[in-house]
Amino acid sequence: MSLAEYSERSGLRRVGARPSLPSYLAQAWRRRDFAIAMAQYKIEAANHRNRLGMLWIFIKPTLNALMYGLIFGVLQGANRPPNFPMFVVIGVFLFEFFATSMTAGARSITGNGALVQSLAFPRITLPLSTVIQQLMTLVPMLVVMAVYIVVLGAPITTEWLLIIPLVAIFTVFNLGVALIAARLTVHVRDLTQLLPLITRILFYTSGVLFAIDRILKNHPWAVELFNFHPIHEMLTIARGLLMPGMTYPPVYWLYFTIWSVAVFVAGILFFWSAEERYGRID
């Protein structure tokens, strides 16, 4: 009998060995307080370094909405959707949640090398913490977004309450994306240099700033493809809930939920399968 076989029979396990998936998720759940505390600390630390503190949470998306709204409002001309200022505000504020979840999630392992190498804990806690951090940031942003929409002329309706389950589904989607990005950057560090480009491409191809059916009206096949674009589906639902006169296909709820669950499950499996690799990052 080999030493490895003897150790296995004796109940001894190799240091850093990957646990089974149920055990791994159970360990992560027991450390949920750590993930939340880390998210809160990072928000406080980031705001402490800025002179305007928490105000930057509102200033950044507001300035982006103003800048992109002015530029693309002029460029689109007659193809602008109705209530274009509301359209842009919703698109920019909600896309910010996705973009920051992906970029912060991608750096959650490589950016915490000392922590990963010195302590034993399920590494999934780190990308989970980054998404929790972005969700905490999103909540006050949603309040500001709602104020802007009301000022721009939108009435408050009971449909606005559906933004809560939509954000919950969106969070599941973003966590899956963050998990996938976190593992990929461990294997390919250069990916972090490409993330701004990837984010920008998704920003311009998700209908954040323009109505797909108007811009691509001469290409119906392309419009049909966007029916299966998860970020476009989410934005369309949000605008249908918050904007007067806007509608959305109810089936988008089903499509986006399927996307979110699929990406979330794939992200967990993809991240967990490389758990032993994370403790050996350079």
The three-state secondary structure class of 253 is: helix
Give just the sign of the alpha carbon dihedral 81, 161, 260, 94.
positive
Using the structure block, give the residue that is written with the tokens 């909405």. 65
What's the pLDDT score for residue 170?
97
What is the value of pTM for the model shown?
A: 0.88
- Count how many Cα atoms sit within 13 Å of the Cα of residue 258 in the half-sphere of its side chain: 8
Cβ 207 vs Cβ 91: under 8 Å: yes
- The whole-number pLDDT of residue 50 equals 61
For position 213, what pLDDT does the model report? 81
The stretch 110-139 carries a mean pLDDT of 87
Calculate mean pLDDT across residues 127-135: 94
pLDDT band, residue 164 (cuts 50/70/90): very high
- What does the pLDDT look like over 1-36, one tens digit per residue? 554 444 445 444 554 567 889 999 999 999 889 899
With cut-offs at 50, 70 and 90, classify the pLDDT of residue 52. Answer: low
What type of residue is 240?
G
- Residue 133 scores a pLDDT above 90: yes
Comparing 18-27, 186-195, 196-205, 221-230, the range with the smallest average pLDDT is 186-195
Which of 47-61, 86-100, 141-155 comes out lowest in average pLDDT?
Answer: 47-61
**CA-closest candidate to residue 146, choices 97, 96, 86:** 86
Number of H helices, E strands in the chain: 14, 0
The CA distance from 125 to 131, in Å, is: 10
214 pLDDT tier (thresholds 50, 70, 90): confident
